[in-house]
Amino acid sequence: MGVTINITLFNVYAVCCKIIWFLVSFMCVSVFCRLIMATVCFESLFESVCQKLKETNNLDNISRSFMQLTSDRERICFLLQLNAVQQRLCLPHDCESFSAAGSKSSKMANKLRNDGNQYFKAKNYMMALCKYTESLSYAPLVVEECDMEDRTASLAFANRSAVLFQLGKHQLCFDDIDHAFSIGYPPSLAYKLYDRKGQCLVALGKPNEAAVSFSAALDALAVCDLEDPRRQQWQTDLKKRVKSCEHEHPSNHNVSSPGLSLICRDIPELHECQRNSCFESLSDACDAVYDPLLGRYIVAKRDILPGEVILSEKPYASVLLSESRLDHCAHCYKFTLAPIPCPSCCHSLYCSSECRNFAYKLYHRLECPLGEILEKSGVDKFAFLALRTLIVTPLDVVRKSCEPLPVCEASNVANVIEKSELYRANSYEAICGLVTHAEDRTAHDLFRRAAIAMFLLRCLCFAGFFETKDPPADVLSGTGGLLLSHLQSFPCNAHEIAEFALNPDAVAASMPNELGAGIYATLSLFNHSCDPAVTRNFYGDRCIVRTIRPIRAGDELSDNYGAVFAMQSRSERRAKLLPQYFFECKCIACAEDWPLFSTLRETGPKWRCGNCSTALLLRSTTCSHCGTEVNLAKCVDRLRKSDKTYKDAFDKLLKCHIDEALPSFLSHLQVMDELLCPPCADYGACQEAVKQCFSIMANCRCIK
């Protein structure tokens, strides 16, 4: 009895020791992880630098000296000489280990796959799909890494194929099955995959290939783990499927779920004969002009109709937001239900091996080891974009751009205009020439951006960007200066890359979602107006700009920076624009303080004189400016007929019949432009309908 008690007490003691050991280990790991995160969290690093500088009791002198510097290269050189920056603004000493934390993990992959299994059992297929894809991003992909005990990637591909089959995505399901087999799917489970592959081939109209797959499933039963009764049932079912294929004829039919469809249309292109001779992305209907006071902007060389394409441009560089990584290609931004992961890191997924290979050659070979560092650093999308911009630029071009030559926006665009040089979308010089507003920034803002540039510079060094472990000081200061320039210019010049989330049951209320950010050399030349002349849409990461009202020769073609007169008051718009873009808007909507859309609805339209375009006075048919008599009855009749066509077109828009609706909207805009003066509520409503059409024609995904 005593022995039993002693043994029991000993067992309890041993269990308690294990629990204590586990808790201590867990706390140590947690503390270690927090310490590691703190070492790459930029805000923590920056706070540490600032604290160190305060301790010198020389902060005012440092600040004054910093603000006297006139170039970004000098600012980075200044930071490189500060002990506080050298000591505190560094990557972890064990950076390789930390970088490896963002690589593959079978343990995490299995956990996520098990989560997906629970969603699959509950028939929540979209959540299951998300978890299986996330599992794939963590699963080791290289065949040599997958021994008999570790089949995480192949299992994740197989499980995701089951979801895709349930969603009716048979080609994607087929592709995932092939991926699973190519990286060592367990032979004991192969019969299920061959069966699913055969059913996909039947749905894809390929009965002969399906029969081969069903036969392979029969052969695979020889090594499966099924008990005899179930094995026999499988054999019976598979033989029936093989036989049924003999009576099928090849076809092109396929079953697909309309609720997950991606709307694809041809990308509008500017043909060679339609391009501006100096600005390759711009239509020949437009030109870029430069004014010492107004800066650079785009004007019409001829009258332009609403709906015309005036710009088609690929970005110099772009980045996908992390929120979109599980269902969009990290390179081309295409929506995909079945992305394939990077073989080395868990951060990037692609729509195809072609995109994956191209991205690796262009930039991901350097970014791959930085994924975990950048994610944990907390830097914003503009920092990611600045880093990507440097990486996609050939090293010799970067070194040339590091030379201490004065590069400014004025000379960059003015040289193109004066010397008829070609302004290219893929020109790094054009990107370097974008306005930074350095002279408008506070000391703290400039110093903080310079510190981010320093952090990114450390990342470039760690990734091997400079092809040497110890780049010369002038190369570091020059490259850091370029990063700092981009960190200032991109918030003013970069654009969000969007995808339209279309709800077919609520087309009018459907809205775009931000996928990423890109820097576009020519698009950045468009100035802002609270009553813009153009709208932007994206096809992948290519930006297409179209007019949304008639433009007369000589008029400016203005974009909108996120402040529209119809939705926000003048004071609200100016308060929004000033901190980011450093100007007080003086467009016509601001100069005349146009009312909000809700107020315009109550006041009604103002008629326009057909001779001089002056607005007619209330209850008057004679122009107060030129004396022309206006036949208002005729104008009213013409507007009424056009308005009826517009309303019919709007009904078509609500049914997503874009090809039928859009021409009527554009025609109605022309009629209203001839008859009515801005601002006008009906005109704005028609412009919004046009923008919805263009959005559905571009990056667009049905969300129902």
Tens-place pLDDT, residues 217-231: 999 999 998 999 999
Q: What are phi and psi of 67, to 5 degrees?
A: -75, -15
How far apart, in whole angstroms, are the C-alpha atoms of residue 625 and residue 570?
A: 28
Angular region, 123: left φ>0, alpha ψ -120 to 50, beta rest? left
126 with 208, same domain: the answer is: yes
Strand partners, 543: 313, 538
pLDDT per residue over 485-520, tens digit each? 999 999 999 999 999 999 999 999 999 999 999 999
Q: What mean pLDDT do residues 243-253 have?
A: 80
Span 94-107, mean pLDDT?
79
**Is 23's pLDDT higher than 70?**
no
Q: Which residues pair with 350 in a beta bridge?
A: 340
Residue 94's pLDDT is what? Answer: 76
Give per-residue pLDDT as tens, 123-141: 999 999 999 999 999 999 8
Nearest residue to 460 via CA among 101, 37, 138, 95 = 95
- Confidence class of residue 403 from pLDDT cuts 50, 70 and 90? confident
The pLDDT assigned to 78 comes to 97
Whether the Cβ atoms of residue 42 and residue 378 lie closer than 8 Å to each other: yes
Kindly give the pairing relationship between strand 511-519 and strand 700-702: unpaired
Which domain CATH number covers 205? 1.25.40.10
Q: Please report, as a single letter, which amino acid is at residue 174.
A: F
Consecutive H or E run containing 157: helix 152-166
Residues 377 and 484 grouped into a single domain:
yes
Asked if pLDDT for residue 364 goes beyond 50, the answer is yes
Q: Which one of 255, 273, 303 terminates a domain?
A: 255
**Nearest alpha carbon to residue 370 among 345, 398, 390, 350:** 345
How far is residue 639's CA from residue 251's CA, in Å, rounded to a whole number?
A: 51
Among 17-31, 158-172, 238-252, the least confident range: 17-31
Query: Same structural domain for residues 219 and 143?
Result: yes
The verdict on residue 433 lying in a domain is yes
Q: How confident is the model at residue 420, as a pLDDT?
A: 59
What is the rounded distance in angstroms from the CA atom of residue 620 to the CA atom of residue 623? 8
Among 390-399, 409-418, 428-437, 516-525, the range scoring the smallest mean pLDDT is 409-418
Strands 309-313 and 542-547, sheet pairing:
antiparallel
| Residue 110 reports pLDDT greater than 50 | yes
Parallel, antiparallel or unpaired: strands 309-313 and 676-677: unpaired
Task: Note whether residue 625 is domain-resident.
Answer: yes
Co-location of 325 and 188 in the same domain = no
Q: Are 143 and 227 contained in the same domain?
A: yes
Note the pLDDT of residue 13.
46
Q: Looking at residue 294, what is its pLDDT?
A: 77
Q: What is the pLDDT of residue 103?
A: 80
pLDDT at 48 over 90: yes
* pLDDT at residue number 418: 54
> What would the mean pLDDT of 164-184 be, rounded to a whole number?
96
pLDDT value for 149: 53
> Where do we find the tokens 């995505």?
169
**What's the whole-number mean pLDDT along residues 452-476?**
94
φ, ψ of residue 309 in degrees (nearest 5): -80, 120
pLDDT at 576 over 70: yes
Per-residue pLDDT at 251: 73
What is the mean pLDDT of the segment spanning 621-646? 94
Q: What is the DSSP string of 283-323?
A: BTTEEEEEETTTEEEEEESS-B-TT-EEEEE--SEEEE-GG
* 591 in a structural domain: no
Q: What distance lies between CA 650 and its chain's CA centroid? A: 30
450, part of any domain:
yes
Q: Looking at the 3D structure of the chain, how many domains does it have?
A: 3
Helix axes 207-220, 228-245, angle to 10 degrees: 160
- The pLDDT value given to residue 416: 58
The Cα–Cα gap between 688 and 682 comes to 10
Q: What is the pLDDT of residues 251-285, one digit of tens each?
A: 765 544 444 455 557 899 898 889 999 999 999 99
User: How far apart are the C-alpha atoms of 357 and 361, rounded to whole Å?
Assistant: 6
Q: How far apart are CA 45 and CA 550, in angstroms?
A: 52
Q: Are the beta carbons of 318 and 566 closer than 8 angstroms? A: no
Whether the predicted pLDDT of 234 surpasses 50: yes
Q: Are 240 and 354 members of one domain?
A: no
Does the pTM of the predicted model rise above 0.85?
yes
Element (H, E) at 542: strand 542-547
Higher pLDDT, 9 or 388: 388
Instruction: Identify which of 167, 171, 102 has the alpha carbon closest to the alpha carbon of residue 132.
Output: 167
Domain boundary (237, 255, 273) is at 255
CA 580 to chain centre: 20
Q: Does residue 120 register a pLDDT over 90?
A: yes
**Residues 71, 412: Cα–Cα separation, whole Å:** 17
Cis link prior to 679 (omega < 30° from 0)? yes
Q: Which of 499, 530, 557 is the last residue of a domain?
A: 499
Over residues 640-645, the mean pLDDT reads: 97
- Tell me whether residue 404 is in a domain: yes
For residue 329, pLDDT over 90 is answered with yes
Distance separating the N- and C-terminal Cα atoms of the chain: 69
Residue 648 falls within a domain, yes or no? yes
Per-residue confidence (pLDDT) for residue 586, from 0 to 100: 95
Domain assignment present for residue 678? The answer is yes
pLDDT tens for 276-305 read 999 999 999 999 998 887 788 999 999 999
Query: Considering the domain boundaries, does residue 403 fall inside one?
Result: yes
pLDDT of residue 382: 98
Average predicted confidence (pLDDT) for the chain: 89
Predicted pLDDT at 266: 83
CB-side exposure of 601: number of CA atoms within 13 Å?
Answer: 6
Identify the domain containing residue 618 by its residue range.
Answer: 603-704
Q: Buried b / exposed e across 595-615, counting CB within 10 Å, b at 16+?
A: bbbeebeeeebbbbbeeeeeb
Instruction: Classify residue 527 by its DSSP letter.
Output: P
- Counting residues of the chain whose pLDDT is more than 70, the rounded percentage is 89
Report helix angle 42-55 to 2-40, nearest 10: 70
- Per-residue model confidence (pLDDT) at position 202: 95
Helix (H, G, I), strand (E, B) or coil at 282: strand
